[in-house]
């Protein structure tokens, strides 16, 4: 199985890499301003992701941002993925999540896929805008993922999948589902295997569509397997390697989740600053009051600190360092808390208007909340960080 590092350090001069990243950031920022921001409120209100944005994201290479050039991908690394997500999250959480899920859905193929699986699926993703997703969570199993109940039983050259996944982003619209199921339920984490289940496979169906408080543009459904027959060629890695594939995927995705949180927070801060300069009370812009200035200074400091953590975690990942788990978890944990705090403070700076849908900060606050919950709820990340710190200590 491939190492859990997505990218081997590139043998290109750093200057060239920086130039490429800068270009990717500029394209993302322009796309965000020109075509995403004007539709962000409508996407939130209708809960429908605009299909034409999928085309636009495909053309810009965002849907295949982390895939190598040899498969038609953008050849980005985790840092460039973070830059794209941050720029887009500044104006629309749902749109940033759409691109993020696409990356997270394809990461298990990166980590566990063999060359022919990569060739097959990555080419479909980059050439046909095929959508992906990551399906692990179940109604009774969230944080305790090693206890999943979905099973995959070998039958001849196929596996029969049975079980129920919930909260799956892009459920019902994705073409390729990276699914985790127990091939040996008695073995816990060691008995989990990973499969790519293609849309249209008999026995794959979709259940309840969730009504969410935030990230409303992204369709989120139950994904149900009823004697769903999946060929053994669709298994990623060996039987029992699903846990490693899932943990490798989550580790890689955490800096990107952090970048999403930084983007949402920065968007809210920028808006609050503009508003504070324009809103007059007691005959002066509210920005002239020290109470508001201190809030803005605190918000900006938190955003910068979160950004520094996120891009350090991304840089470590891109450099191929072995020990990235703690920093990636720290980045996601800290940045998501900052996003919640800063968006809430932005609503406060707008006062009553902040509570109204005429301004985007209430949407940003609703979007920020889930960054503390998904891809490892923050309590679980704190456990993971503490475990890393206490490793090797006599009492632990």
Ligand X SMILES: Cc1cc2nc3c(=O)[nH]c(=O)nc-3n(C[C@H](O)[C@H](O)[C@H](O)COP(=O)(O)OP(=O)(O)OC[C@H]3O[C@@H](n4cnc5c(N)ncnc54)[C@H](O)[C@@H]3O)c2cc1C
Residue 228 is inside which H or E element, if any?
strand 220-231
Minimum gap (Å) between residue 250 Cβ and ligand X = 9
Residue 169 binding ligand X, by CB under 6 A:
yes
Query: Other C-beta atoms within 10 Å of 281: how many?
Result: 11
Minimum gap (Å) between residue 205 Cβ and ligand X = 17
Output 101 or 268, the one with its CB closest to ligand X: 101
Q: Which residue is nearest to ligand X (CB)?
A: 142
DSSP codes of every residue in 95-158: HHHHHHHHHHHHHHHHHH--HHHHHHHHHHHHHH---EEEE--BTTBSS-GGG---EEEEETTE
Contact 132, 125 (CB under 8 A): yes
- Reading the block at residue 152, the tokens are 């995959």
- Reading the block at residue 217, the tokens are 């543009």
What torsion, rounded to 10 degrees, do the Cα atoms 361, 362, 364, 370 define? Answer: 160
Minimum gap (Å) between residue 195 Cβ and ligand X = 14
Is residue 239 annotated as a catalytic residue, yes or no?
no
The residues near 290 (Cβ < 8 Å, ≥ 6 apart) are: none
Residue 133 binding ligand X, by CB under 6 A:
yes
Output 179 or 269, the one with its CB closest to ligand X: 179
CA distance 266 to 35: 19
Interface region with ligand X, contact rule CB under 6 A, candidates 43-51, 114-122, 165-173, 277-285: 165-173
- Reading the block at residue 56, the tokens are 């636009």
Residue 370 binding ligand X, by CB under 6 A:
yes
Q: How far is CA 150 from CA 106, 191, 228, 277, 374, in A?
A: 21, 11, 11, 54, 20
Residue in 29, 41, 173, 377 binding ligand X, rule: CB under 6 A: 377
Count residues contacting ligand X (CB under 6 A)?
A: 21
Output 31 or 220, the one with its CB closest to ligand X: 220
Residue 207 binding ligand X, by CB under 6 A:
no
Minimum gap (Å) between residue 172 Cβ and ligand X = 12
Interface region with ligand X, contact rule CB under 6 A, candidates 136-144, 276-284, 323-331, 344-352: 136-144
Minimum gap (Å) between residue 156 Cβ and ligand X = 28
CA distance 192 to 181: 6
Residue 142 binding ligand X, by CB under 6 A:
yes
Minimum gap (Å) between residue 246 Cβ and ligand X = 9
Minimum gap (Å) between residue 173 Cβ and ligand X = 12
Residue 181 binding ligand X, by CB under 6 A:
no
Interface region with ligand X, contact rule CB under 6 A, candidates 280-288, 302-310, 330-338, 372-380: 372-380
Output 106 or 133, the one with its CB closest to ligand X: 133
The residues near 326 (Cβ < 8 Å, ≥ 6 apart) are: 384, 385, 388, 389
Residue in 64, 79, 137, 221 binding ligand X, rule: CB under 6 A: 137
Rg (CA), the chain: 21
DSSP 210: P
Interface region with ligand X, contact rule CB under 6 A, candidates 118-126, 134-142, 306-314, 331-339: 134-142
Q: How far is CA 78 from CA 53, 74, 128, 361, in A?
A: 22, 12, 23, 28
Catalytically active residues, by annotation: 375
Binding region for ligand X (CB under 6 A): 133-137, 142-143, 167-169, 212, 215, 220, 370, 373-375, 377, 379-380, 383
């Amino acid at each position: 199985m491939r190492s859990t590092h997505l990218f081997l350090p590139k043998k290109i001069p750093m200057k060239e890499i920086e130039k490429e990243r800068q270009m990717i950031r500029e394209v993302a920022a322009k796309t965000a301003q020109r075509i995403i921001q004007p539709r962000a409120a409508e996407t939130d209100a209708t809960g429908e992701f605009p299909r034409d944005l999928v085309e636009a994201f495909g053309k810009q290479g965002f849907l295949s941002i982390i895939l190598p050039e040899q498969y038609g991908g953008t050849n980005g690394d985790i840092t460039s993925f973070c830059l794209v997500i941050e720029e887009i999250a500044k104006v629309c959480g749902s749109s940033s999540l759409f691109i993020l899920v696409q990356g997270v859905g394809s990461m298990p193929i990166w980590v566990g896929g063999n060359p022919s699986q990569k060739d097959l699926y990555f080419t479909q993703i980059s050439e046909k805008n095929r959508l992906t997703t990551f399906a692990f969570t179940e109604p009774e199993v969230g944080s305790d993922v090693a206890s999943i109940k979905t099973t995959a039983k070998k039958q001849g050259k196929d596996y029969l999948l049975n079980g129920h996944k919930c909260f799956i982003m892009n459920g019902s619209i994705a073409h390729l589902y990276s699914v985790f199921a127990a091939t040996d339920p008695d073995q816990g984490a060691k008995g989990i295997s990973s499969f790519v289940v293609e849309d249209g496979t008999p026995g794959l169906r979709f259940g309840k569509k969730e009504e969410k408080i935030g990230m409303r543009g992204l369709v989120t459904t139950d994904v149900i397997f009823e004697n769903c027959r999946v060929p053994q060629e669709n298994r990623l890695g060996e039987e029992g390697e699903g846990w490693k594939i899932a943990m490798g995927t989550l580790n890689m995705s955490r800096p990107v989740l952090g970048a999403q949180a930084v983007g949402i927070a920065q968007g809210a801060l920028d808006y609050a600053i503009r508003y504070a300069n324009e809103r007059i009370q007691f005959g002066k812009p509210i920005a002239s009051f020290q109470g508001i200035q201190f809030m803005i200074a605190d918000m900006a400091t938190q955003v910068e600190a979160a950004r520094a953590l996120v891009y350090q975690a991304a840089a470590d990942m891109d450099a191929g360092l072995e020990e990235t788990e703690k920093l990636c978890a720290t980045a996601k944990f800290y940045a998501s808390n900052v996003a919640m705090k800063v968006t809430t403070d932005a609503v406060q700076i707008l006062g009553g208007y902040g509570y109204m849908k005429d301004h985007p900060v209430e949407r940003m606050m609703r979007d920020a909340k889930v960054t503390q919950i998904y891809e490892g709820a923050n309590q679980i990340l704190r456990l993971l960080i503490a475990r890393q710190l206490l490793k090797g200590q006599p009492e632990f």
